[in-house]
Structures are given as C-alpha cells and as structure tokens.
C-alpha cells in the first residue's frame, strides 16, 4: 500500500508547534517516551515498547565453523525486519532504503563497538565457534525505530543464555539445558542509540521523534553511546549542516539519556531473573494487563472428554462407508492403461447434462487379460441424455488403434459416475493417455 501523504496543513501545524517548543503528545524537547520491556519464556526473547513503537527481539545460537581469517572468534549476525504489520507502507521490496540504513546502523552500533566478547564464543579454534544470531522484528511503527531496535537487541543479548560446552583435550561436550544451566554471553558494555531530529535547517531539535515528527524533520542525528560516555557510533543523515557545538550538546544529552535507559534495562533484567529464580510466573502472559476490556485471560481448564468416544462411534456408525478410492488400473491395450477418472472438466458446462448422484464408486475394478480388451461397460451408463457434442476439437471420437481389431468408440466404464458430456470426457482422457505414455 502506498504511504498516505502528509497534508500541507498538518506539516505546517507540526512545524509551527515545534517552533513554539510544543510537541503534540505534550513531551518536552528532551523527553523520551515511556519504555516498557517484557520478556518471554525462552531466554533471549524480549519485546520493547518505546511509546507505541514495538520491537520484538530474539537471540539464537548455533555451532558453526569460524570465518577463515578469524579462526578464534565467534560470529555475530544481526537482522532487523520491518514487518508488514508495522505500517501499511512496509511491503516486501518497497522498504529497501530504510531497511538497509537501519540494519547498517545497528550493525555498526553493536558489532563495531565490540560490546560482545567474540573470543569467548570460540569452542575449538579453527573448527567450531558459536554463531549468535539476533533477529529483530518491528511490530508497530510510531517513529524512532532505531532506538527501539537497539534497546531490544542489547536487552535480548543480555537476557540470552547459550548452552554450556566443555572441552577436554580432543573431546567437546555440549550440554543440553536440562543437564547444565545455560550460560550468559559475555557482554562488555551496552551501546544504545539516541536519535535527534532537526527542524528548520538545524534550528530546532527534538529527542525521540515520533512518526509525525519524523515525517517533517529535515535531518536525523543518531549517537550510539554506552553508560561510560563512550561514543560507539555517530551518524548524521538528511543533509543538514550542524555546528560543532550542536553535536557536542547532543552528545551530552545522549549521555544523560543513555544512563537512564541503561538503568531501566538493568532493573528489567534483574526483575526477570528474580522471578525465574523464585519460580514465579514469567513470560508474555504476565505482561497482559488484567481487568482490561480488551484483554482476556483464562487459567488452565479441564475439558470433559468422557462422552467423545460414544459420540465418535455414533458418527462412524451413521456415516456411509468410505468410497473405494483406490481404483484399479484399466488396461486398454498393452502399454496403455488408465487409473481413475480425472477431475471434472472445468472449461464450463455449456449445456448441463443431467448429473447422476455419485454413490462413491469411481471406476469399477476391471481385471483384464493382456490380450483381450473389455468393452462391456459401454451400456452401463444409466440416464444418458442424447450425446451432446460440445467441443470444437477435431478429434471427437476416441479411437484406439490396435493391430487386429477394428477401431471402436470406447467410453470408460463408470458405474453411476457423474455424467459428463461424452465428447468432453473423451478429449480429456486422450490427453491423459498421452502423458501416461
């Protein structure tokens, strides 16, 4: 679906409001929207909500051979997908620019900053290393995808547990989660992207733009930073020209924001760990609010299945016996056989001949000698209207050439089969024979 265009008056309204330091949702210039982090039952699964923007993150791991030039390092793989439910404009093949930009930014932020210790992912140098795969899915687009995605990625990585491995000389043992508790990844620091939107050629600045604000912005500055105030990645797009002190000011703001967000992430991770240890309920089911009109929960319920056996037996007793579906092949001549009857010709009934009700039998089982050909069924066809010649095909008669017999008009032996216009079925059957040969 095409993107709904933004009307001029909406654009002007947003820009005027920004000039007066007002945002549509009532936030201040440097305010972030509410961030909500929820975890699933599997390790490494989380959903991050930044206002209404929602991202699902999942981390998985696999043992693979390492890259040739990095034989002692594990492999990291990031993939952000813009799901079609996130916005009507996200169709496969339509979003490549945005997708490439976001994926590249995410990779630079997480891979190049070396936040994950890849050396610790090595199992057997040169042979087996862990490949960590981070899949992010954007579920709802309300602006600032990159921030939400980077938070989801780092939270999922911190939450993930990989299976334990032990190496003793030549032997490598991989333990299942039941045998030994899975171990967390070794993460040095948590880089988080902070976005700044610029308006009116850099005069006005907003942190965490929502979707409407993104539509009218001139340019975007993304700074990825960790809580130790180290810049991991910085990217300015949109062609706006920024002054040096503007960029420095943004980085200071980013430092403050990152500290807040990192605190929030730590708290969420600790909460989840506590709940899991104490054996409480965890997972997405817990994050569905109670007492809400749009939500419904139901605990484990037992189902009475005592009478289903009787019911089933009743149904089977009343039902007709299943039709003889496997039809034996009909041998026309040595080398030419026919199995079954084919589907009904869907080229349209120009005139409906009366259709008999199918009783189930498709082809009578006809057992033939090799030399003789059975033609006895010609008269078996019941109510037959006058043969209706409908097809324009030149070959209307089905002729089977045989060395010692006269060519005859043959119809397939069908007992109570659906009536079709004879010529049509002949044409059809001939086609089948050709393919069979």
Partner 1 sequence: MEIAKRADAELGAGTAAEPGPRSPGCSLRHFACEQNLLSRPDGSASFLQGDTSVLAGVYGPAEVKVSKEIFNKATLEVILRPKIGLPGVAEKSRERLIRNTCEAVVLGALHPRTSITVVLQVVSDAGSLLACCLNAACMALVDAGVPMRALFCGVSCALDSDGNLVLGPTTKQEKEARAILTFALDSVEQKLLMSNTKGLYSDAELQQCLAAAQDLSPGFGQLG
Q: Is 10 in the site for partner 1 (CB under 8 A)?
A: no
Q: Which of 60, 97, 56, 63 shows the shortest CA–CA distance to 77? A: 60
The two tokens of residue 400 are 């089977």
Between 93 and 239, name the residue whose CB sits nearer to partner 1. 93
In the stretch 66-85, what mask flags binding to partner 1 with x, by CB under 8 A?
---------------x-xxx
**Block residue for tokens 């030419």:** 336
Min CB(144)–partner 1 separation in Å? 14
- Tell me which DSSP letter residue 380 carries: G
Exposure pattern of 164-198 as b/e (b: 16+ CB <10 Å)? ebeeeeeeeeeeeeeeeeeebbeeebbbbbbbbbb
Q: What is the CA radius of gyration of the chain?
A: 35
Q: Is 1 in the site for partner 1 (CB under 8 A)?
A: yes
> Of 168, 176, 305, 406, which lies in the binding site for partner 1, with binding defined by CB under 8 A?
305
Q: Which of 394, 393, 397 shows the shortest CA–CA distance to 407? A: 397
Pairing of strands 53-64, 75-82: unpaired
Between 230 and 314, name the residue whose CB sits nearer to partner 1. 314
> Of 42, 107, 218, 374, which lies in the binding site for partner 1, with binding defined by CB under 8 A?
42
Q: Is 318 in the site for partner 1 (CB under 8 A)?
A: no
Q: Is 54 in the site for partner 1 (CB under 8 A)?
A: yes
Q: Which of 318, 411, 402, 398 shows the shortest CA–CA distance to 363? A: 411
The SS3 assignment for 287 reads helix
Largest separation between any pair of C-alpha atoms in the chain: 103
Q: Is 5 in the site for partner 1 (CB under 8 A)?
A: no
**Residues numbered 143-182 forming contacts with partner 1, rule: CB under 8 A:** none
Phi-psi region of 260 (alpha: psi -120 to 50; beta: other; left: phi over 0): alpha
> Of 9, 68, 243, 303, which lies in the binding site for partner 1, with binding defined by CB under 8 A?
303
302: CB partners within 8 A, 6+ apart: none
Q: Is 308 in the site for partner 1 (CB under 8 A)?
A: yes
Angstrom distance (rounded) from CA 267 to CA 225: 19
CA distances from 93 to 59, 66, 430 (A): 25, 31, 44
Between 96 and 437, name the residue whose CB sits nearer to partner 1. 96
Min CB(295)–partner 1 separation in Å? 4
Between 83 and 415, name the residue whose CB sits nearer to partner 1. 83
Pairing of strands 75-82, 128-140: parallel
Q: Is 389 in the site for partner 1 (CB under 8 A)?
A: no
Between 248 and 288, name the residue whose CB sits nearer to partner 1. 288
Q: Is 140 in the site for partner 1 (CB under 8 A)?
A: yes
Q: Is 378 in the site for partner 1 (CB under 8 A)?
A: no
Min CB(228)–partner 1 separation in Å? 32
Between 286 and 374, name the residue whose CB sits nearer to partner 1. 286
Tell me the site size for partner 1, rule CB under 8 A: 55
| Of 249-257, 315-323, 370-378, 419-427: span binding partner 1 (CB under 8 A) | 315-323
Between 127 and 313, name the residue whose CB sits nearer to partner 1. 313
**Residues numbered 106-135 forming contacts with partner 1, rule: CB under 8 A:** 133, 135
Q: Is 415 in the site for partner 1 (CB under 8 A)?
A: no
Angstrom distance (rounded) from CA 418 to CA 420: 6
- Tell me which DSSP letter residue 116 carries: B
Angstrom distance (rounded) from CA 51 to CA 33: 5
- Tell me which DSSP letter residue 393 carries: -
Q: Which of 60, 229, 238, 225 shows the shortest CA–CA distance to 151? A: 225
| Of 138-146, 332-340, 380-388, 409-417: span binding partner 1 (CB under 8 A) | 138-146
- Where do the H-state alpha helices sit in 119-238? 145-159, 211-216
Q: Which of 381, 422, 426, 378 shows the shortest CA–CA distance to 400? A: 426
> Of 9, 68, 295, 325, which lies in the binding site for partner 1, with binding defined by CB under 8 A?
295
* CA angle (34 as vertex; 285, 226 as ends), nearest 5: 105
Q: Is 301 in the site for partner 1 (CB under 8 A)?
A: yes
Q: Is 311 in the site for partner 1 (CB under 8 A)?
A: yes
| Of 52-60, 158-166, 327-335, 402-410: span binding partner 1 (CB under 8 A) | 52-60
Q: Is 316 in the site for partner 1 (CB under 8 A)?
A: yes
The two tokens of residue 200 are 């009116």
Q: Is 88 in the site for partner 1 (CB under 8 A)?
A: yes
> Of 174, 256, 288, 326, which lies in the binding site for partner 1, with binding defined by CB under 8 A?
288
Q: Is 100 in the site for partner 1 (CB under 8 A)?
A: no
**Which residues contact partner 1 by CB under 8 A?**
1-2, 40-42, 45, 47, 52, 54, 56, 58, 60, 81, 83-88, 133, 135, 137, 139-142, 283-285, 288-289, 292-309, 311-313, 315-316, 322
């Amino acid at each position: 679906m095409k993107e709904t265009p933004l009307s001029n008056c909406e654009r002007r309204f947003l820009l005027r409001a920004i000039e007066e330091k007002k945002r549509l949702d009532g936030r201040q210039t440097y305010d972030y929207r509410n961030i909500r982090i929820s975890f699933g039952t599997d390790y490494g699964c989380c959903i991050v909500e930044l206002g209404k923007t929602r991202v699902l993150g999942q981390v998985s791991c696999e043992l693979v051979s390492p890259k040739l030039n990095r034989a002692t390092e594990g492999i990291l793989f990031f993939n952000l997908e813009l799901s079609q439910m996130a916005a009507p404009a996200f169709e496969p093949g339509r979003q490549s620019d945005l997708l490439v930009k976001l994926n590249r930014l995410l990779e630079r932020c997480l891979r190049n900053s070396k936040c994950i210790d890849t050396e610790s992912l090595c199992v057997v140098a040169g042979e087996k290393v862990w490949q960590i795969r981070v899949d992010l899915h954007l579920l709802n687009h309300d602006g600032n995808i990159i921030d939400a995605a980077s938070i989801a990625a780092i939270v999922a990585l911190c939450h993930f547990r990989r299976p334990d491995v032990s190496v003793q000389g030549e032997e490598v043992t991989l333990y299942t989660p039941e045998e030994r508790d899975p171990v967390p990844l070794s993460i040095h620091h948590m880089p988080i992207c902070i976005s700044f939107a610029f308006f009116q050629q850099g005069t006005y600045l907003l942190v965490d733009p929502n979707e409407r604000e993104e539509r009218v912005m001139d340019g975007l500055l993304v700074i990825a930073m960790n809580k130790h105030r180290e810049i991991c990645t910085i990217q300015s797009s949109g062609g706006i020209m920024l002054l040096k002190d503007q960029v420095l000011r943004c980085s200071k703001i980013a430092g403050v924001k990152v500290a807040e967000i990192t605190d929030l992430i730590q708290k969420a991770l600790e909460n989840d760990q506590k709940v899991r240890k104490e054996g409480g309920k965890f997972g997405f089911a817990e994050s569905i609010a109670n007492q809400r009109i749009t939500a419904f929960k139901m605990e484990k319920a037992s189902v009475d299945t005592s009478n289903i056996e009787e019911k089933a037996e009743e149904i089977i007793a009343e039902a007709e016996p299943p039709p003889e579906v496997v039809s034996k092949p009909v041998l026309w001549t040595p080398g030419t056989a026919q199995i079954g009857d084919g589907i009904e010709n869907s080229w349209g009934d120009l005139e409906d001949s009366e259709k008999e009700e199918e009783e189930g039998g498709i082809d009578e089982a006809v057992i033939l000698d090799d030399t003789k050909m059975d033609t006895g069924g010609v008269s078996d066809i019941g109510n037959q209207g006058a043969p209706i010649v409908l097809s324009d095909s030149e070959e209307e008669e089905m002729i089977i050439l045989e060395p010692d017999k006269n060519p005859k008009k043959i119809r397939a032996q069908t007992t109570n089969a659906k009536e079709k216009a004879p010529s049509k079925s002949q044409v059809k059957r001939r086609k089948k024979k050709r393919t069979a040969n």
